[in-house]
Structure formats: structure tokens, C-alpha cells
């Protein structure tokens, strides 16, 4: 500090002598003009630096790049005579800043190396009259983003003004050359060269070249400053290297994070596709569900409207599927549905759509097809379902009923087409015709069917059901020996309702077991009444596949037999051939139950099923009923006549009684007698009548 003070004193004494000589010939005007020029240069420089900081800060502000923003503030602050540089928001809160801590004003304001809150410090610096303050608004287009602040130290410029004035005075006095030479030599040796070295070091750092050493020979102030500057260079170098290392690690982390995000995004995309698929497809069969079928139908309707073509909608329901679930269990039923769906896909075109609506109900949409070809496809589907289905422990046959509606002949929107196809499907099921195309006259059953679903509960509770009886005539004894009990329903408002209208509803609503229990109770009650009055008539009742699947049936029969004291030959259980073939092993097993042996058994509708001959010899049956479809036309159709003759011979050879139903004329009755048929029934003798009319009918038959 002594050397620095001595050098400073000598310098200022020398300047004072020169100023004393110059002041004598200088004027206030010269000094004022020169000062204005220097101040203007000062203002221009401050404004340029503030505008520069504002211009280069737009991009970092838009992308929130604090590192670059800090770098720009530092760059501005490293300019000569800069006290501070900062970027603040509209509330003057610093977004970034850089302070020249070597400046005396900075030292006075901060008073410590640690800055807790920079905003008050910046406000103090702005109020300092020795610091020239500049503020420029940073804009992106017309939108203000922030403000750039730059503070310049006035003192060096004030000093420069005085120096300039001294030079003028020296020139004026004619001693400028002496003063210039002396000052040049002095500054060259003591100031200019050290400053040049420092400037070169500053430039190297500004260019991110931290390998050039900053050194000034000697032990003076500039040497000490150079040593401090060199230490700062090394610190900045270490900081930059650390920053580069951190940036590299951050980059690697970002790459890893991006890979993780991409992998997770891909997983979410796959999951979304899976969710979307599950929302539009049946989880059991994988077929489109009701939502997707409806969507595809709407699309195909729009296409058909544009191309002026037709399309067909199929609604298909499996026959007796409920008995599969009740008899074999839901897992076997599910396997059957999967196998059915696979066969359906084989029977249709690639352009067609097949979906599962629920339960055993399927829907198909066939674009660009007419009614004739649609019926062909429906029959092809039925043929595809014809072979037996092999499940885990059983082999079963399943038929189906298909309803067809055609666009635009029957309907022009998806809702009506599905409904009309459903109406046609119920008609196919009712008539056992397998395939039915919608006709307008079928729709009259739809409102009734909806009403009957509600009315049937009331019918069971209020005893609206009745049993009517159709006589069965023995051609051997020439008298009525038995009657078939047929259920009827008389509704107070709708009148007579026949079984083909309400039995399917009972099956679909789960009321069929209650209906069957009522029929059994009523038949046993009537048999007992006749026995008590001396009338010896056997009563035939119908048991469905669902009845045979009920585990409580043997106990139910045993209870009725005991209650009404029936030992044998009083009640005959008629079982359709299709019910037997549905699960022959189970039918055989239940027929051999001891409690079931108190009934007689008859195979109903014989000849309409498949492969039943192999089981006929295993069944404990007393009689076989030939289906009326063979009887009605046997007089006019030799094929039917030959079938009837063959069945009669076959059944007789097995030791069973043959019953022919559907006898409607004397010619048919005569031919059946010639063929050796044992019993007959049909409209030729009587339709099914209420019990109070039966005895008179029987009397007329036997007298005739």
C-alpha cells in the first residue's frame, strides 16, 4: 500500500502542476463542451449496453433458460465501468443479475459476500447518484416480457472529462508534447502494459479460453491484481468444467428419462388399445359386442344408402341353450358359445360382421346382399352348426333360430332393423322353421309378448292356467284309453293364449319350472279324481329338457305319487326326441331313477331329431309317438307313408307301443290301421278340450 500511495501522490502532484498552468489559459466554456461530449458518450454507451442486454435476453426468457440469461448478465457486467446488470419482471423482481463486486459502490451496498435478497441492493444502487442507471423494456413482438437494467460508474467518466480538459490546457500552454511524452512513458510502463495484459486475460476468459495464464512481473498493485485475476480464471475454469460435467450428467439423465417416458407411453398406448378393444368386443368369444355391431350396422347402412344396395341383419338364438347351462354348468355353456362363434365365422364372408349380443344371442350384418341370398347364408349357418359339439365331458347337438330383416325393405335405421330381425327370430323359434324373414304381420305378436312377460306372473298366482285334454284312441281296443294334457291360458282381457306364445316367455324369464310344477300337480289331481269316480284314463304330460335337468324332479314325482296314491300306469311322461338327444346320457340316467320308474315314458315327435335310434333300445319307454309332420301327408306322399311304416315296424320289434298324432281324416286313420299303429290322436277325433267337456267327447268317439 506504501508504494501504491507514493505512486498515486507523485501522479497527482504532477497532474496538479500541469492543471495549475493549464487552468490559467482555459475557459469554463471549453471544459463545459468537453464534459458534454464525454457525458453524451457515457449515455450512449449505457443505452447501447442496456439495449444489447434486452435484445439477447428475449430467447432465454421465452424458454426459461436461466443459465444463458445469467451468462448474458455476466457478459454485460464484465464491460468496463459497469457496476451491475440485471433482468427484472414488471414488478422489478430480479429474474437474473450480475454485480461487479470489485466496484466500491457494490462493496458499500452489499457489505458482505453473501446476498440474501438482491432486490433491495439493486434499488439502493439505482438511487445512487454516482451511478448512471439505464432501463430498457424487453419485448417479444408487442408483448413486454421483462426489463433490462444496467448501471455505469460515473466517476471514471468524470475523471476522463477532467483528463481531457487537462490535455486541452497542455496544448493551449504549448507543453502538451512534454506532458504527453511523460504521461505516455509513465502509463506505458506502469499502467498501459499491465492493463493490456489484464485485457488480454479478460478477452481469453470471454472467449472461454481458460488456459492462458495472467501474470504481471513485479510486486506492485497491478501484479497483485493480475495474481487475483489469475486465481479467478482458475476458479472459473473449475466452475465451467464442473458445469460441463453436470450438464453431461443431466443430458444422460434426460436421455434416460426420455427413454422411460417413451416406454411408458408405448405401454399406455397398448393399454388404451386393449381397453378400447375390450369395450367393443365380447370378452368370452372375442366377437364384436352389441356396441360394435351397432356401430358397424350404422356404417353399412350409410354405405348401402350411398351405393343403393341392400343389406341383411340376422338375429340368431340357440335352441335349448339354457338347458346346457342348467344341466352341464356355465363353463360348458361358455365352451359351447366359443365353438358356435368359431363356426359362425366360417359360414360368413370377410365383409360380413358377426357379434354376440349377450347370452346365446348373436347378430350378423351382411352388406350388399338381397333377401334370397340372405336366406341361403342363414341355411349355410344352420348347416355349419349341424355337427355335434365336443365339450369336455359331453357331445351335444345345438340347433338355432334365425330372424332376418332387410334394408331398406323392412327398415332404414339400425334400431328398427335389429328389432324386426328379433321379431322374425321369435317367429322362427315359434314355428320351428329355423329361418324366418320378417313380415309385417308378425309384428302383432311383439306387443303381446312384451305384455305377457308381466302377465304370466299374475296368471300363476290367480289360477288363470288350465289343462285341456286330447283323447288318444286305442285301435286295438277301439276306445279312448288315455288323454294328453295340454296347457292353456285364459286371460281375462286377452282371451285364450296358447302355449307357443307363452312357453318361450316362461323359459326366458325363468318361470318354466313353476309352470311345469303346476302342470304336474294339476295332472295328478285330475287323475285321482277320475280314479275315485271309476274313470280309468292314463294322462300324458310333456316334460322339457329343462325339467329333466332339474335335480329335484325324481323327488317331486315321488312326492306326487305318494300324495295321490298312484303306483304305476297312471301318468305318462312324454319327452321330445330333441330333449333326449340334447343329453341322452342324462335322460337315460334320470329315467332309471327308482322314483321315476313309477311313471310311464313316451318319446314325443319321433323322427324329427338326429341319431336317436342308437339310444332307443337303451331308453325305458313304453311307447313312441310319430311326429305329425309325417302323419298329415302320408296318404298323399309315399315317402311319408314308407317312413311311418318303417317306424311302426321298428318300434314294434323293440317291444314298444306306437302312437300317431295329427290324424285329421278317415283316410289317414284307415292307413294307420292297415300299418298296425296301436294308438292315434288328432282333430279327426277331437281337439284338446276342457275337462268338463271331455267325457261327452269320449262317449261320442267310442260310439262312433
Which tens digits make up the pLDDT trace of 405-459?
Answer: 999 988 888 888 998 998 899 888 877 778 999 987 776 555 666 677 778 888 8
Strand-by-strand arrangement of the 94-99 sheet: 94-99, 82-88, 143-153, 131-140
Q: Which three cell numbers stand for residue 599?
A: 311313471
Task: Decide if 256 is inside a domain.
Answer: no
Strand segments, DSSP code E, in 544-699 are 571-576, 600-606, 623-626, 657-661, 679-681, 689-690
Q: 97 near 73, Cβ under 8 Å?
A: yes
Task: Decide if 274 is inside a domain.
Answer: no
Domain end call among 151, 174, 197: 174
Kindly state whether residues 16 and 157 are assigned to the same domain.
yes
Which tens digits make up the pLDDT trace of 228-262?
Answer: 877 887 888 788 878 888 888 888 888 888 788 78
What three-state secondary structure class fits 311? Answer: strand
Task: Decide if 488 is inside a domain.
Answer: yes
State how far the Cα of 586 lies from the Cα of 551, in Å rounded to an integer: 11
Kindly state whether residues 395 and 467 are assigned to the same domain.
no
Kindly state whether residues 402 and 493 are assigned to the same domain.
no
Task: Decide if 82 is inside a domain.
Answer: yes
Place of cell 329315467: 591
The pLDDT assigned to 51 comes to: 83
Domain end call among 174, 205, 221: 174
Q: 475 near 673, Cβ under 8 Å?
A: yes
pTM: predicted TM-score of the whole model, two decimal places? 0.45
State how far the Cα of 287 lies from the Cα of 289, in Å rounded to an integer: 6
Domain count, the chain: 3
For residue 41, give the CATH number of its domain.
3.30.450.20
Kindly state whether residues 94 and 115 are assigned to the same domain.
yes
Domain end call among 174, 197, 228: 174
H/E run at residue 471: strand 465-474
Mean pLDDT of 61-76: 80
Q: 605 near 577, Cβ under 8 Å?
A: yes
Kindly state whether residues 358 and 303 are assigned to the same domain.
yes
State how far the Cα of 236 lies from the Cα of 206, in Å rounded to an integer: 11
For residue 552, give the CATH number of its domain.
3.20.20.450
Place of cell 475557459: 27
**Domain of 382, in residue numbers:** 290-438
How many Cβ atoms are within 10 Å of 158's Cβ, its own excluded?
A: 15
Task: Decide if 73 is inside a domain.
Answer: yes
Kindly state whether residues 556 and 429 are assigned to the same domain.
no
Q: Which three cell numbers stand for residue 284?
A: 368370452
Kindly state whether residues 421 and 494 are assigned to the same domain.
no
Kindly state whether residues 427 and 465 are assigned to the same domain.
no
First-to-last C-alpha distance (Å) of the chain: 155
Kindly state whether residues 684 and 626 are assigned to the same domain.
yes
Q: Which three cell numbers stand for residue 29?
A: 466554456
State how far the Cα of 292 lies from the Cα of 279, in Å rounded to an integer: 9
**C-alpha dihedral, 53 to 54 to 56 to 61, nearest 10°:** 120
pLDDT above 70: percentage of residues in the chain: 86
Task: Decide if 235 is inside a domain.
Answer: no
pLDDT band at 188 (very low <50, low <70, confident <90, very high): low
| Least confident range of 16-20, 599-603, 610-614 | 610-614
| Least confident range of 237-246, 355-364, 395-404, 654-663 | 237-246
For residue 400, give the CATH number of its domain.
3.30.70.270
The pLDDT assigned to 610 comes to: 45
What three-state secondary structure class fits 684? Answer: coil
Task: Decide if 189 is inside a domain.
Answer: no
Q: No. of H helices and E strands in the chain?
A: 27, 21
State how far the Cα of 501 lies from the Cα of 274, in Å rounded to an integer: 43
The pLDDT assigned to 90 comes to: 82
Task: Decide if 211 is inside a domain.
Answer: no
Kindly state whether residues 63 and 84 are assigned to the same domain.
yes
Which tens digits make up the pLDDT trace of 98-117?
Answer: 787 777 777 776 665 555 57
pLDDT band at 179 (very low <50, low <70, confident <90, very high): low
Name every residue whose Cβ is closer than 8 Å to that of residue 692 and which is 6 or more positions away in sequence: none
State how far the Cα of 337 lies from the Cα of 343, in Å rounded to an integer: 10
Kindly state whether residues 628 and 658 are assigned to the same domain.
yes
Kindly state whether residues 461 and 334 are assigned to the same domain.
no
Amino acid at each position: 500500500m506504501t508504494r501504491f500511495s507514493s505512486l498515486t501522490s507523485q501522479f497527482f502532484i504532477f497532474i496538479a502542476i500541469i492543471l495549475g498552468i493549464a487552468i490559467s489559459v482555459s475557459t469554463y466554456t471549453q471544459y463545459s463542451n468537453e464534459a458534454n461530449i464525454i457525458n453524451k458518450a457515457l449515455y450512449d454507451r449505457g443505452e447501447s449496453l442496456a439495449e444489447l442486454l434486452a435484445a439477447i435476453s428475449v430467447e432465454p426468457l421465452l424458454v426459461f433458460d436461466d443459465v444463458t440469461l445469467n451468462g448474458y448478465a455476466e457478459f454485460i457486467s464484465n464491460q468496463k465501468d459497469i457496476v451491475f446488470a440485471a433482468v427484472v419482471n414488471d414488478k422489478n423482481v430480479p429474474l437474473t443479475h450480475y454485480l461487479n463486486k470489485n466496484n466500491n459502490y457494490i462493496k458499500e451496498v452489499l457489505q458482505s459476500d453473501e446476498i440474501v435478497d438482491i432486490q433491495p441492493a439493486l434499488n439502493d444502487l439505482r438511487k445512487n447518484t454516482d451511478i448512471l442507471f439505464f432501463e430498457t423494456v424487453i419485448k417479444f413482438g408487442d408483448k413486454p416480457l421483462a426489463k433490462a437494467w444496467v448501471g455505469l460508474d460515473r466517476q471514471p467518466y468524470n475523471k476522463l472529462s477532467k483528463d481531457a480538459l487537462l490535455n486541452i490546457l497542455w496544448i493551449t500552454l504549448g507543453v502538451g508534447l512534454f506532458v504527453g511524452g511523460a504521461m505516455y512513458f509513465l502509463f506505458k510502463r506502469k499502467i498501459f502494459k499491465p492493463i493490456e495484459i489484464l485485457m488480454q486475460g479478460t478477452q481469453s476468459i470471454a472467449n472461454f479460453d481458460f488456459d492462458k495464464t495472467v501474470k504481471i512481473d513485479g510486486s506492485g498493485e497491478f501484479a497483485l491484481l493480475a495474481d487475483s485475476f489469475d486465481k479467478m480464471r482458475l476458479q472459473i475454469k473449475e466452475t465451467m468444467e464442473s458445469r460441463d460435467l453436470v450438464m453431461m450428467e443431466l443430458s444422460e439423465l434426460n436421455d434416460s428419462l426420455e427413454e422411460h417416458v417413451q416406454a411408458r407411453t408405448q405401454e399406455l398406448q397398448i393399454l388404451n388399445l386393449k381397453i378400447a378393444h375390450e369395450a367393443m368386443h365380447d370378452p368370452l368369444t372375442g366377437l364384436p359386442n352389441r356396441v360394435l355391431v351397432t356401430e358397424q350396422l350404422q356404417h353399412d347402412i350409410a354405405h348401402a344408402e350411398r351405393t343403393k344396395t341392400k343389406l341383411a341383419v340376422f338375429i340368431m338364438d340357440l335352441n335349448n341353450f339354457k338347458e346346457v347351462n342348467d344341466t352341464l354348468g356355465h363353463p360348458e355353456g361358455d365352451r359351447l358359445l366359443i365353438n358356435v362363434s368359431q363356426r359362425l365365422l366360417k359360414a360368413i364372408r370377410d365383409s360380413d360382421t358377426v357379434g354376440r349380443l349377450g347370452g346365446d344371442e348373436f347378430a350378423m350384418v351382411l352388406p350388399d346382399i338381397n333377401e334370397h341370398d340372405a336366406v341361403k347364408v342363414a341355411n349355410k349357418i344352420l348347416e355349419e352348426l349341424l355337427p355335434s359339439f365336443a365339450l369336455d365331458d359331453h357331445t351335444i347337438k345345438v340347433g338355432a333360430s334365425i330372424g332376418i330383416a332387410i334394408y331398406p325393405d323392412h327398415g332404414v335405421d339400425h334400431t328398427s332393423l335389429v328389432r324386426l330381425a328379433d321379431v322374425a327370430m321369435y317367429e322362427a323359434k315359434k314355428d320351428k322353421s329355423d329361418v324366418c324373414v320378417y313380415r309385417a304381420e308378425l309384428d302383432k305378436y311383439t306387443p303381446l309378448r312384451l305384455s305377457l312377460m308381466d302377465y304370466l306372473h299374475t296368471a300363476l298366482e290367480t289360477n288363470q292356467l288350465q289343462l285341456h285334454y286330447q283323447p288318444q284312441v286305442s285301435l286295438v281296443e277301439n276306445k279312448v284309453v288315455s288323454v294328453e294334457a295340454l296347457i292353456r291360458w285364459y286371460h281375462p282381457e286377452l282371451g285364450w293364449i296358447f302355449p307357443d306364445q307363452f312357453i318361450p316367455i316362461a323359459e326366458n324369464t325363468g318361470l318354466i319350472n313353476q309352470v311345469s310344477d303346476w302342470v304336474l300337480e294339476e295332472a295328478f289331481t285330475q287323475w285321482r279324481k277320475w280314479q275315485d269316480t271309476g274313470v280309468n284314463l292314463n294322462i300324458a304330460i310333456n316334460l322339457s329338457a329343462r325339467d329333466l335337468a332339474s335335480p329335484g324332479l325324481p323327488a317331486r314325482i315321488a312326492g306326487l305319487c305318494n300324495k295321490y296314491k298312484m303306483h304305476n300306469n297312471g301318468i305318462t311322461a312324454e319327452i321330445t326326441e330333441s330333449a333326449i338327444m340334447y343329453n341322452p346320457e342324462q335322460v337315460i340316467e334320470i329315467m332309471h331313477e327308482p322314483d321315476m320308474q313309477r311313471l310311464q315314458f313316451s318319446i314325443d315327435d319321433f323322427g324329427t331329431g338326429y341319431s336317436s335310434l342308437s339310444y332307443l333300445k337303451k331308453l325305458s319307454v313304453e311307447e313312441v309317438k310319430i311326429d305329425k309332420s309325417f302323419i298329415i301327408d302320408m296318404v298323399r306322399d309315399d315317402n311319408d307313408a314308407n317312413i311311418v311304416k318303417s317306424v311302426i315296424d321298428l318300434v314294434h320289434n323293440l317291444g314298444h307301443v306306437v302312437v300317431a298324432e295329427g290324424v285329421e281324416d278317415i283316410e289317414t286313420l284307415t292307413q294307420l290301421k292297415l300299418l298296425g299303429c296301436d294308438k292315434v290322436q288328432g282333430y279327426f277325433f277331437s281337439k284338446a278340450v276342457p275337462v268338463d267337456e271331455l267325457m261327452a267327447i269320449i262317449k261320442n268317439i267310442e260310439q262312433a
